[in-house]
Structure formats: structure tokens, C-alpha cells
Amino acid sequence: MAAPNPGLLAAMLKANRLSGVMRWKVNFTESGFKGETTLATWIGMWLDTSGIESIQDFVDFAANQTSNSHLVGRTLAELVDAILPAGDSAGTTCLAWSGWQDLMKASPSDAQVIAEVLELACQESSAVVLVCDSVGSFPDISELSQG
């Protein structure tokens, strides 16, 4: 089990060394992640999608977990626009995506679509998505080392 080096995420966020969707094989706790993003003065969002097996399940679960319950039943694009807004409403947001392995096992293509939509949103805003946990493989996204 790989734990992140304390302060490393905060330092990388402060230095703007991260961008887009990246796979980081570390095991964050929600409180540890939130502490790091707070230290960096970024908005930290924790998303644990354990048990999710489709894009719509992801949307509905994430809508509830991010206090956007009005987006239940809506599209992935609408959800991502709400949690990673572009333009003037964009902030410096870091989303930790944990528990993605069930989705990857059930539907690798759905997991890839979600990663691609998140990547596009990150390009339009100051956002980073970290696909966390030391177990599992998420093809076609950049790997981030502990530094």
C-alpha cells in the first residue's frame, strides 16, 4: 500500500505542476487529500465510486456526493460542467477519484469515456483529476510518480 509523501500534493498544486487527468498509484484518505488541497488553497473534491458500473451510475452517484442532486438522471457532460466549471466560474479544483476499479472491471469503455470528458474539462479550467489507489490499471492516462 503506497501512501503519498506528506505535503507533496500540496506542493505540486501550488507550483501548478499538475494538469489534466492523471493516474497516481497512492492511497489517499479523504481527510489526507482534503488537508493537502486546503494547504495548497485549492478546492478539493473526493469522489469514491466503489460499486459503480456504468456512466449513468457514475453521474447519479457523483451528483449526490458533490451536492448536485439536481443532476441525478442528467448527462455526464452536465455533471462535469457543474463540478469542474470553465471560464469565469472556474477555480483551482483537484478531484481525487477513488474506487474506480469496479467501473473499470464492469465497463472499461465507460471508464475511458469518463476520463476523456474529465480531461476536456480540465483543459478548459484550472482543474486536476487524480485517479488514485495503488491497485489496478487505468490505461491511456498519464502516470504520476511520487516525485
Would you say residue 6 has pLDDT above 90? no
Phi, psi angles (nearest 5°) of residue 23: -95, 120
Q: Which strand ranges, in their side-by-side order, compose the sheet holding 93-98? A: 43-48, 93-98, 127-131, 20-24, 142-144
65: its cell numbers: 456526493
Query: Do the beta carbons of residue 84 and residue 95 sit within 8 Å?
Result: yes
- Annotation: CATH topology of 8-144: Barnase; Chain D (3.30.370)
Mean pLDDT of 92-117: 96
Confidence label for 14 from pLDDT (cuts 50, 70 and 90) = very high
pLDDT at 88: 58
Burial classification of residue 24, based on how many CB atoms lie within 10 Å of its CB (0-12 exposed, 13-18 middle, 19 or more buried)? buried
Q: How many residues does the chain have?
A: 147
Is the CA virtual torsion 90, 144, 46, 140 positive or negative?
A: positive
Q: What whole-number distance in Å separates Cα of residue 14 and Cα of residue 143?
A: 20
Confidence label for 3 from pLDDT (cuts 50, 70 and 90) = low
pLDDT tens per residue, range 20-72: 999 999 999 999 999 999 999 999 999 999 999 999 999 999 999 999 999 99
Q: What is the mean pLDDT of the chain?
A: 91
The one-letter amino acid at 91: G
Range scoring the smallest mean pLDDT among 72-81, 98-107, 130-139? 130-139
Confidence label for 144 from pLDDT (cuts 50, 70 and 90) = confident
Mean pLDDT of 123-131: 90
- Enumerate the domain spans of the chain: 8-144
pTM here?
0.91
Query: Do the beta carbons of residue 57 and residue 7 sit within 8 Å?
Result: no
